[in-house]
Structures are given as structure tokens and as C-alpha cells.
Amino acid sequence: MSYGNLETLYRQVIMDHYKNPRNKGLKDGDDFYKIHLKNPTCGDDITIQVKIDNGMITDVYQDGTGCSISMSAASVMSETIKGKTVEEAFKILDNYLNMVKGEKFDAELEMGDAIVYQGVAQFPARFKCATIAWKALAQVMDEHNGNCTCDHEE
Amino acid sequence: MIKISDINKIREDFYLLKNSDLTYLDNAASSLKPQQVIDALNYYNEKLGVNVHRGVYKLSYEATDLYEKARQKVADFIHCKFKEVVFTRGASSALNLVASSYGMKYINEGDEIITSELEHHSSMLPWQHVAKVKKAKLIYVPLDAEHRITIENFKKVLTHKTKVVALTHASNVMGYITPIKEIIKLAHEVGAVVSVDGAQSVPHMKVDVKELDCDFISFSGHKMCGPTGIGVLYGKYKLLQSMDPVEFGGDMIDYVYLQDVTFKDAPYKFETGTPIIAGAIGIGAAIDYLNEIGFDFIESQESKLRIYALTQLKNIEGLQLFNPNTDTGIISFNIEGVHPHDVASAFDQENVAIRAGHHCAQPLMNCLKQVATVRASFYFYNTEKDIDNLVEAIKKAKEFFDLFK
Ligand SMILES: Cc1ncc(COP(=O)(O)O)c(C=O)c1O
């Protein structure tokens, strides 16, 4: 049976992260940056926790509820950016956003499993799902860099 | 009289039904608009385009005439007086007008307002606000096991402190019809006023406000073949007259002095500024269209589709049906293990348009213990083929997401 474009969106890797999320569950401790984002129209609800030492992202946790795209993206994001510097993470983030928007992006840039979200570009209605965890990350890094917008709810 | 066999002729009136393979099952959100309504809108915009009530020239006279004739069409449609029809931006604005005008004037500390967890946010939130500001109590009718509003449960919360009852006539998620006529009778016995949310009833069934004896009813044009941006508040004239305007400015005044002002009578004191002229003409044309189709046809077509759909959906394994006893063309379900938004994307690939989400009814989602549901909703122009396409889309989505199990 042909599922059309569906197969370009729902890749095995994505569904694997959805069913077996990495770095799931929040940790105690106040040495984490913590951001909670919601998308009230669809009920996606995500919290991410990030530890940053000397400009290096050393630990990431995520938790929440939502659809397969938003939940898997949180898992993929957590894996992709762990061990990266904030500067590197920003580069990946920008590249990722361009990619899912269907704009020009650097296909050579190492971004782990995040690359499989290319198909989102053909599903503009799912853009928000694919980016909510990444937007939370952007806020964490802004806060770390002293550019806190203090707008933790979306 | 339209016959069932004329369904293909009806579908010709709708561009998308005629020219695409769209399966449109999101009618509870918005209906499609027939050519007749588009023509009426175009006529005003192209041939008239001028303001109402103000100009003495011929064009303005005709625009005013069409605008006010639309009000008469609404009045005839729901069986009330011309001056009892207030044009608003939509059902939400109408529901808010009742709360911010009637509610803010007449609700006092300790009074009770009855609503339900079945409500659309636009029906309950205006009263939540009034209750907060006025220190009144917002009371919820307990829903029964099926999540219905019943007379029995309504009696349990009705007291002599009840001042307002704000309930939906037809649920936009469960498709249940509220026994509103009996509820209104009971409410009136304790002197309470009833504001009915008719957004999902008026487009689908004959609603006679005199027969119901409701005090207010609100509905939207865009769910009944009309354009967006227009809705109606019906209110008993005595009540409308007793209420204060909430918006002040052009068109709604009688005399303006430096420190005082007198207002026009209802409905005009609630229609501040240039009114929604095109919208009103559009809803008037939509009413002409619905009258031509007739509620006999609309109700029988929707009930036929409901039975046909439910019979098939009940037999799909892994399909969680939330309202197997729905009274209307609204069916809510989930596919086990698949998030409603993933279902919606899969359906979209098959060109089946449904709604996935909380349907502006978060309290009800909590009752159902779901974050969201998939909702298919029919109108008179849908066919058994549309249901077949829905069933196919469900099966295909299940099969696809099963691949990842
Ligand atoms: C039951 C109910 N009430 C109120 C509304 C609000 O209507 P509108 O969005 O047109 O103001 C809707 C539509 O979404 C509805 O289904």
C-alpha cells in the first residue's frame, strides 16, 4: 500500500525516538536551566533541562506530552546537542529550523538524527510540533547568554 | 422540496465539492459556502460597497435595505421579532455580549451561574469572568456517565440563588442535544435567565426561540453556509432593552451631549460603528439557501450519515469512540496508540479534512481523560462516499502507524 508523503514525515528513526525516548524524565537540582513550553492549540507540553558548564552543554533532560513529532523531536534534540558548545548548538538549531521550514540549509553540518526531520517541510501544519523542543532549547541558551526574554510560555 | 436524490445537485453549489476530491468533515468548525452566498457577498462589495444608515443617496439606501432585510430573514428563521436580532462578529461575541452586558449589570455577590463541562470555552469563560469579578459562584451541572447534560442533574444544581444558566444546545465535541426546553422551563421557575449556545444547533435543526422560550441564543454565520465575521445574538426584547451597551461610539446613539448621551433602542445600541454589512447580507443569503434545502432534508441526511458512520466505526478494532450515542453529525474518536495530530496528518494525505485537538473544550477533554480527540462532523452536503473515505483513511492510518509497533 502506498502511504504517499506520510513516509517522508514518519521515518523509522522518528518513531523509534517516540516509542523509546532518550533522556526522558526531569532531574532534581538547581544547576539546570529549565524551560517549560506549551502549544495550547494542540496540547503539546514540553519541559527541558539543560546543564551548561564553561559554554559546554553537558547534560539534557526532557519530559512532556504530545504527538509523535513533538515528543520524538525533544528526544532527538536532547541527544544531538549533548556534548556540544552553546555556539555549536545555536548553529545546529538555526540549520534545523531552516531545514524544517523548507528553506536552504547546510546538509553537511553534523546534526545527528535531527536530519530525518527534513520531511516536515512538506507538512507545514506540523512545523510547530517539530520545533517546540528546539525553541525551548533556544530560550535556555538565550538565558545562559544573558539574553533572557523571560517568556517561558508559548 | 429537496429530495435525497438531489444531493449531487446540492454539491454543485460548493466549489470544493464540485472541483476537488476533498472529503470535508470539519463542518462543526466551519461549513463550506455555496455559490449563492458568495454571489450575495460579491453583489454588495461590487455593486454597492457603501455604508448603511447614513447616506441619503440611492446606493446607501439599497445597502441599508439589504442589511435590514437580512435581520428580518434571521428573525423569521429563528421565529422572533426583527428588533430582537443583534448582529455580532460571531457566536463568541454574542455569548460575551450577554455576559458583559446582562451579567455585569445583574449578577451580584453570592449569586449562582450554572454552566457545564460540555461547553465550548466561548460559552463558559465569559461567565467565569463575571463570576470572578462579581464574586458570584460558577456551578457546573454534573454530566452523566455518557457526559450528557440531563434534566435530573440540572435539577440538582438549580437553586433560588441561580441567576443565569449558560448552556450549549448541541455539544461541539459529543454531538449531544441538551434537553434545553425543559431546562429553560425549570430555570424560569426560579427566575433565572437562560443563555443558550446555539452555534452547533441552529445550522442543523429547526430552532424556534419562541417555542424554546430561551432568553438569549447565540450562533455564527460561518457554520451555516454563511461567511466568517458575522453572528447573531437573539435576546428577548425586554431583556435587550434593560441591558447597557458595552461599546460606545458611532451609530448607536440618539443624542450626544458633552457630559451625557442617550442611546438608540435595541438592537442598534449594541451595534456600534459601521455594522457588519457584507456579513449580514451573507448570513441572509445563507438562510435563504438553507430554507431552500429545508431542515427536513438537512436532518434526514445528517441522521442517515450518522447511522451509516457509526455502524462502520463501531466495528473498527482499536478505534476508541467517545460518543457512540451522538444525536447529531458529530463523532469524536481516537485511534489507540496514535496521537490525534498524527491521525490528522495521515488523513490529510488522503484529502480527508477533520479536526484534531481539544475543540475549545478543555474541561471536557479532562472528563474524557484525553488531551485531544479526532472529530469528524457532517453537514447536509456530505455523502456515504465521504464516510467511506473516512473509514478508509482510518484503516490506512492504523495500518501505517502499526508498522512502527
Ligand atoms: C458550541 C460552540 N460554541 C461557540 C462557538 C464559537 O463560535 P465562533 O468561533 O464562530 O465565535 C463554537 C465554534 O467553534 C461552538 O462549536
Protein fold of B38-291: Aspartate Aminotransferase; domain 2 (3.40.640)
Residue B404 contacts A, CB cutoff 8 Å: yes
The minimum-distance atom of ligand 1 relative to the CA of B223 is 10
Confidence at residue B1, expressed as pLDDT on a 0 to 100 scale: 56
What is the spatial distance between Cα A62 and Cα A78, in angstroms, rounded to a whole number?
7
* DSSP characters over A39-90: ETTTTEEEEEEEEEETTEEEEEEEEEE--HHHHHHHHHHHHHHTT-BHHHHH
Query: Which of A38, A68, A122 is the best residue to mutate to test the B interface, defined by the most B CB atoms within 10 Å of its own CB?
Result: A68
Distance B91 CA to ligand 1 centre (A): 6
pLDDT for the residue A39: 84
Residue in B29, B71, B81, B88 with CA at minimum distance from that of residue B209: B81
Q: What is the DSSP string of B104-138?
A: HHH--TT-EEEEETTS-HHHHHHHHHHHHHHT-EE
Cα A41 to ligand 1 centre (Å): 15
Contacts of B396 in chain A (CB under 8 A): 1, 3
One pLDDT digit (tens) per residue for chain B, 405 residues:
566 568 999 999 999 999 999 999 999 999 999 999 999 999 999 999 999 987 789 999 999 999 999 999 999 999 999 999 999 999 999 999 999 999 999 999 999 999 999 999 999 999 999 999 999 999 999 999 999 999 999 999 999 999 999 999 999 999 999 999 999 999 999 999 999 999 999 999 999 999 999 999 999 999 999 999 999 999 999 999 999 999 999 999 999 999 999 999 999 999 999 999 999 999 999 999 999 999 999 999 999 999 999 999 999 999 999 999 999 999 999 999 999 999 999 999 999 999 999 899 999 999 999 989 999 999 999 999 999 999 999 999 999 999 888
Nearest protein CA to atom 15 of ligand 1, as residue: B199
Asked if B366 has any chain A CB less than 8 Å from its own CB, the reply is no
The answer to whether the CB of B90 is under 6 A from ligand 1 is: yes
Report the alpha-carbon distance of residue B214 to residue A64 in Å, rounded: 44
Q: What pLDDT, in 10s, does the model give residues A10-69?
A: 999 999 999 999 999 999 888 899 999 998 777 789 999 999 999 999 999 999 999 999
Question: Is the model's pLDDT at A146 over the cut of 90?
Answer: no
DSSP 8-class letter at B27: T
Q: Is the pLDDT of residue A151 over 60?
A: no
* String of DSSP letters for A98-150: HHHHT----TTS--GGGGGGGGGGG-GGGHHHHHHHHHHHHHHHHHHTT----
Please report whether residue A80 resides in a domain: yes
B340 vs A contacts (CB less than 8 Å) = 67
| Bigger pLDDT: A5 vs B82 | B82
- Interface residue A20 vs chain B (CB under 8 A): no
CA-closest candidate to residue B227, choices B270, B271, B276: B276
The average confidence (pLDDT) of chain A is 91
| CA B261/CA A149 separation, integer angstroms | 46
Indicate the residue of A10, A15, A42 with minimum beta-carbon distance to B372. Answer: A42
Going from N- to C-terminal start, the domains of chain B cover: 4-29+294-402, 38-291
Within an 8 Å CB–CB cutoff, is residue A10 touching chain B?
A: yes
The answer to whether residue A56 sits within a structural domain is yes
B80 catalytic? Reply is no
Does residue A149 lie within any of the structural domains?
no
Does residue B181 sit at the A interface (CB-CB below 8 Å)? no
A23 inside domain? yes
Each residue of A115-137: pLDDT tens digit? 999 999 999 999 999 999 999 99
Residue A152 has a pLDDT of 47
Q: Mutating which of B21, B334, B345 best tests the A interface, going by the most A Cβ atoms within 10 A?
A: B345
If DSSP states are collapsed to H, E and C, what string results for A136-147?
HHHHHHHHHCCC
Cβ contact B288:B37 at 8 Å: no
Q: How far apart are CA A123 and CA B331, in angstroms?
A: 25
Please give the tally of structural domains in chain A.
Answer: 1
Q: B4-29+294-402 adopts what CATH topology?
A: Aspartate Aminotransferase, domain 1 (3.90.1150)
Distance B123 CA to ligand 1 centre (A): 8
Peptide bond into B126 cis (omega under 30): no
Question: In this model, does residue A2 exceed pLDDT 90?
Answer: no
Beta strands B253-256 and B261-263: pairing type?
Answer: antiparallel
pLDDT band (50, 70, 90) for residue A4: confident
Over 90: is that where the pLDDT of A149 sits? no
Q: Give the pLDDT band (50/70/90) at residue A112.
A: very high
Element (H, E) at A2: none
Would the CB of B374 count as within 6 Å of ligand 1?
A: no
In a domain, A151, yes or no: no
Residue of the CA atom closest to atom 7 of ligand 1 = B91
Q: What is the pLDDT of residue B283?
A: 98
Ligand 1 proximity of B195 Cβ (cutoff 6 Å): no
Shortest distance, CA B351 to any CA of chain A (angstroms): 12
Tell whether B360 lies on the interface with A, counting CB pairs under 8 A: no
In a domain, A153, yes or no: no
Task: Find the CATH number of the domain harbouring A54.
Answer: 3.90.1010.10
pLDDT tens for A56-86 read: 999 999 999 999 999 999 999 999 999 999 9
Nearest CA distance, A19 vs chain B (angstrom): 8
User: How many beta-carbon contacts under 8 Å exist across A and B?
Assistant: 52
Please indicate whether residue B220, judged by its CB atom, sits closer than 6 Å to ligand 1. yes
Instruction: Mark B73-96 as b/e (b = at least 16 C-beta within 10 Å).
Output: bbbebbebeebbbbbbbbbbbbbb
Q: Are B149 and B143 in contact (CB under 8 A)?
A: yes
pLDDT of residue A154: 41
Cβ–ligand 1 contact at B150 (below 6 Å): no
Binary contact (A6, B346; C-beta < 8 A): yes
* Whether the Cβ atoms of residue A18 and residue A70 lie closer than 8 Å to each other: no
Range of the domain at A119: 6-144
